[in-house]
Amino acid sequence: MIYLIGVAIVVVVIGGIVVLASGDRYSGMSDKEFEEEAKRGSRIGGGLLELQKILGGPRHVEYLQKRDKHVEAERSESGDQPGSAGSKE
């Protein structure tokens, strides 16, 4: 077990050295190449963000609605009308 941990540490250190020695991936690009790369990356990121909104949106809204109902139910006292939130005047 200790041997595996040692090997993992050595691999991480060597990987870190390689990444640091390789330099910045944008350093060899011209301005035009950099702009093309940035546009391509922003289109991919925008597409993934929209996909996340489409797939994850309704579930998140449903969760928030259930949470609000649960909090309201906890705050109400026995015999209160729904929606009164336990306020007595």
Tens of pLDDT, residue by residue over 8-45, are 999 999 988 887 777 676 677 788 887 887 777 777 77
Indicate the average pLDDT of the chain.
Answer: 76
- Measure the N-to-C terminal CA separation of the chain; round to a whole number of Å: 67
Predicted local distance difference test score (pLDDT) of residue 85: 54
Place of tokens 């077990």: 1
Predicted local distance difference test score (pLDDT) of residue 10: 94
Q: Which of 3-12, 17-26, 78-87 has the highest mean pLDDT?
A: 3-12
Global pTM reads 0.30
